[in-house]
């Protein structure tokens, strides 16, 4: 089976759906942001502040390259697929699912979130432009899963039906 990899924009439901999917498939769940936070002993927000986005993306690439290919669910950070190298690595390690929902739903989930450095002091239009600029990367080699109005249970079942 390899890895079941969940990608998508911030707030799409990767973490909660990934946990539910792991339970249903009886597989471990690895969140790449949490793995980076453990390795570097600081939050993603702190890494961005200390090193900048470019260096953070290098840390992310290294993390993805070293993921085991043993069956597991992997939830990625919203920008993990921005680098072509990362998308290639993920394609070789498992099946990729792009979780998405209506932008207004995403925005409602994100507008009060202060833990996401890329959203700091951004307007709704700016966040939507960021989302749209990433779409082609999310779509590259992935199966689309619409999460709008679905529970984590429903999302997990949808993914399982497509494995």
Feature table: binding site for ATP: 11-16, 116
Residues within the annotated binding site for Mg(2+)? 15
Residues contacting residue 115 through CB under 8 Å, at least 6 positions apart: 43, 44, 45
CA distance 2 to 149: 29
Question: What is the gyration radius of the CA atoms in the chain, in angstroms?
Answer: 15
Q: Exposed, middle or buried, 118 (CB in 10 Å: 0-12/13-18/19+)?
A: middle
Q: Can you say whether residue 37 is alpha, beta or left, with left for phi > 0 and alpha for psi between -120 and 50 degrees?
A: alpha
Annotated binding site: 11-16, 33, 57, 78, 116, 134
Residues in the chain, how many? 163
Binding positions for substrate:
33, 57, 78, 134
Beta strands in 45-155 (DSSP E): 72-75, 94-100, 142-146
Asked if 97 and 13 count as a contact pair (C-beta separation under 8 A), the reply is no
């Amino acid at each position: 089976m390899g890895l079941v990899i969940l990608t998508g924009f911030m707030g799409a439901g990767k973490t909660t759906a990934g946990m539910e999917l792991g339970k249903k498939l009886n597989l471990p769940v690895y969140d790449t942001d949490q793995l980076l936070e453990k390795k570097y002993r600081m939050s993603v927000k702190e890494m961005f502040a200390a090193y900048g986005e470019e260096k953070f993306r290098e840390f992310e690439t290294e993390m993805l390259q070293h993921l085991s290919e043993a069956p597991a669910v992997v939830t990625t950070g919203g920008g993990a697929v921005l680098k072509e190298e990362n998308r290639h690595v993920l394609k070789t390690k498992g099946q990729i699912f792009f979780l998405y929902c209506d932008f207004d739903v995403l925005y409602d989930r994100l507008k009060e979130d202060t833990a996401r450095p890329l959203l700091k002091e951004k307007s709704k239009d700016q966040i939507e432009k960021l989302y749209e600029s990433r779409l082609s990367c999310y779509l590259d080699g992935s199966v689309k899963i619409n999460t709008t109005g679905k529970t984590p249970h429903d999302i997990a079942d949808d993914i399982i039906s497509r494995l």
